[in-house]
Structure 1
Amino acid sequence: MTDGKFALYISIASLVTFLIVAIYGNQNRVETHKPVLEPSAPISFTNAKTIPIPERIDLAGEKVPLEIADVKERLDKELHINSYWHNNTIFLFKRASRWFPVIEPILEKNGIPNDFKYLALIESGLENVDSYAGAAGFWQILKSTGREYGLEINRDVDERYHPVLSTEAACKYLNRSYDKFGNWTLVAASYNRGMRGMQNALDHQQVDNYYDLKLNDETSRYVFRILAIKQIFESPEDYGLNIDQEHLYKPYTYRYDTVRNSTDWVEYAKEQKTTYKTLRIYNPWIQDEDIRVGRNEYYVMSLPDRD
């Protein structure tokens, strides 16, 4: 075969190969670019929109100065965060339905404004959680603070998790803070920053109110988080939340029993016709499977109502 014929055969073979690749490659390309959605399938987008700021809002009857630009913007931010954080905010409504009926009468009895129930809500979401700093329970109380305000905290018992006793302890702190500041907004901020920390900030910056202070990010947001949750709870529909009352958690119904002797909680639960798990749900302050009860001591146990 001459060099010319060989070159011709190579050219023809190359052309055939190119045509085969082009034809099949194009078929594959068409196949892989079929629409992912059928033509009739709808495409939806989140209907996100800006949220109006209320013309007036207060904390415990104390007016928030919305005429100050940064005050209005800080409230604006927290309203948007909580309005669009749907799963979290919905569960705040659910748990509040169970626990606000417990908390509200204790606040009233101790002379604490009802708005402070929202402080517990932003602190813990009304769950018995622990913080990295060692705070615990609905009111996120430190061990030292809890003991200072009368809570029992040891191997067997941690009353920071007791919904009634921890609320009583929080009320003592809030009243003491009000005696110091005479202003509920500063009381709320001091729950986050501490009374000494708030007083130092006021003295150093030579102002007399929360809204004129330059604070760390957490305390700067703290009161506005309370205000935003209060506003959303009072007018949920205005913030895009359709809260079906049937879906909210019902308050527990209780009966009570007094324990005066050291007890194995698993056996005790069986005697009370319940389970250890249920006993812990109704008494989250229990810390172990047994308890040592000293002389002249006793514990009041919350149990599911048999009715």
Structure 2
Amino acid sequence: MLKKHLITCSVILVLVTISALNIFGTKPVLLTKTTPKIKTYMPASLVFYKTEEAEAGFSFANEALPLNDKRVDLKLKKSITKNRFRNVQSNILHSKADKLFPIIEPILKAYGIPEDFKFVPLVESGLCEGTSPKGARGIWQFMPGTARSYGLKVRDGIDERLNVRKSTIAACRYIKELYGEFNSWTLAAAAYNNGSIKLARAINKQNEDNYFRMSLNRETGSYVYKLIAMKEIINKPRKYGYNNYYGYLQKPIPYMVASN
């Protein structure tokens, strides 16, 4: 019995000796100014980032929306919800976009106008050629006086506001002039809707030239949001309920038949 006890004590003594050698044999690391600090990181699953890619779709003419502003975010969501398929329930706008955008896009490019302005006719008139109660007509909804100012013929028997190419050229000239005045594409779009005089007056009165921070009338204050909503819905139809639609931006993959 005594012999077993002595063996057990010897083993414990050896283990204690080895542990002591390991502890005291290791040189302590003294922290100095040049010693690199050890960084600790949160697990990737707990870190959340709002990437630029995630917000890239919510912009107009490369001018991003300040989505960190709750008021802006709410207005955009309302506009998208209002125009998604379950509320609009029509593919007419998509079909007309397929037909008219290929005509409008190269003209915008030739005049240096951002492609996002192709959604203006969609918001203004639904890409229709009807006449508004105030007398605006064509896909760009020109008033007679404004149309004549930018080179369109509007008189008995002739109304070039109904000519897609000519009216688009006139719209480009007008939009470019508005951009030259306000140095902002979002403000140019707002001025297209409300007129440059009224918009300039609002800018001076509020001492503010950021569209998203301005207080404007109901129609103009929601105008750019409508443009962005239409851009989303036309570019991403399936995301917003148009499950059976294939537009010129969403060409189906051709079915390949294997040869025998």
Structure 2 length-normalised TM: 0.72
Distance 2:247 2:192 in 1: 34
The residue number in structure 2 matching 1:142 is: 143
Aligned pairs (5 A) from 1:48-67: 55-56=55-56, 57-67=58-68
Structure 1 length-normalised TM: 0.61
Shift in CA distance, 243/95, structure 1 to aligned 2, threshold 3 Å:
farther
2:112 matches 1:85: no
The residue number in structure 1 matching 2:50 is: none
Shift in CA distance, 166/203, structure 1 to aligned 2, threshold 3 Å:
same
Amino acid of the structure 2 residue aligned with 1:177: L
Aligned pairs (5 A) from 1:4-83: 55-56=55-56, 57-83=58-84
2:156 matches 1:155: yes
Tell me the CA shift for residue 239 of structure 1. Answer: 1.2
- The size of the alignment, in residue pairs, is 194
The residue number in structure 2 matching 1:256 is: none
Amino acid of the structure 2 residue aligned with 1:185: T
The residue number in structure 1 matching 2:205 is: 204
The residue number in structure 2 matching 1:290 is: none
Deviations, residues 66-87 of structure 1 (Å, cap 9, x unaligned)? 1111111110111001013233
Distance 2:69 2:236 in 1: 24
Distance 2:138 2:92 in 1: 17
Question: What secondary structure does 2:100 align onto?
Answer: helix
Distance 1:237 1:139 in 2: 27
Amino acid of the structure 2 residue aligned with 1:120: P
Is the CA contact (8 Å cut-off) linking 2:98 and 2:248 kept in structure 1?
A: no
Distance 1:124 1:154 in 2: 21
Is the CA contact (8 Å cut-off) linking 2:105 and 2:115 kept in structure 1?
A: yes
Is the CA contact (8 Å cut-off) linking 1:118 and 1:226 kept in structure 2?
A: yes
Shift in CA distance, 101/247, structure 1 to aligned 2, threshold 3 Å:
closer
Question: What secondary structure does 1:136 align onto?
Answer: coil
Tell me the CA shift for residue 101 of structure 1. Answer: 0.8
Percent identity, aligned pairs only? Answer: 40
Is the CA contact (8 Å cut-off) linking 2:190 and 2:224 kept in structure 1?
A: yes
2:123 matches 1:122: yes
Amino acid of the structure 1 residue aligned with 2:128: E
Distance 1:243 1:133 in 2: 37
Deviations, residues 209-246 of structure 1 (Å, cap 9, x unaligned)? 11111111111111100000101122111112124338
Is the CA contact (8 Å cut-off) linking 1:189 and 1:198 kept in structure 2?
A: yes
Distance 2:197 2:126 in 1: 26
Distance 1:214 1:226 in 2: 18
Greater Rg, structure 1 or structure 2? 2
Question: What secondary structure does 1:127 align onto?
Answer: coil
Tell me the CA shift for residue 132 of structure 1. Answer: 0.9
* Unaligned runs of at least 5 residues, structure 1: 1-53, 249-307
Is the CA contact (8 Å cut-off) linking 1:94 and 1:247 kept in structure 2?
A: no
Distance 1:190 1:237 in 2: 32
Is the CA contact (8 Å cut-off) linking 2:82 and 2:88 kept in structure 1?
A: no
Shift in CA distance, 244/179, structure 1 to aligned 2, threshold 3 Å:
same
Tell me the CA shift for residue 156 of structure 1. Answer: 1.4
Amino acid of the structure 1 residue aligned with 2:107: I
Amino acid of the structure 2 residue aligned with 1:159: E
Amino acid of the structure 1 residue aligned with 2:62: G
The residue number in structure 1 matching 2:255 is: none
* Unaligned runs of at least 5 residues, structure 2: 1-53, 250-260
The residue number in structure 1 matching 2:111 is: 110
The residue number in structure 2 matching 1:177 is: 178
The residue number in structure 2 matching 1:167 is: 168
Amino acid of the structure 1 residue aligned with 2:88: H
Question: What secondary structure does 1:66 align onto?
Answer: coil
Aligned pairs (5 A) from 1:177-256: 177-245=178-246
Distance 1:243 1:214 in 2: 39
Deviating above 2 A after TM superposition, structure 1's stretches of 4 or more consecutive aligned residues are 84-88, 243-248
Is the CA contact (8 Å cut-off) linking 2:139 and 2:164 kept in structure 1?
A: yes
2:96 matches 1:95: yes
Shift in CA distance, 241/136, structure 1 to aligned 2, threshold 3 Å:
same
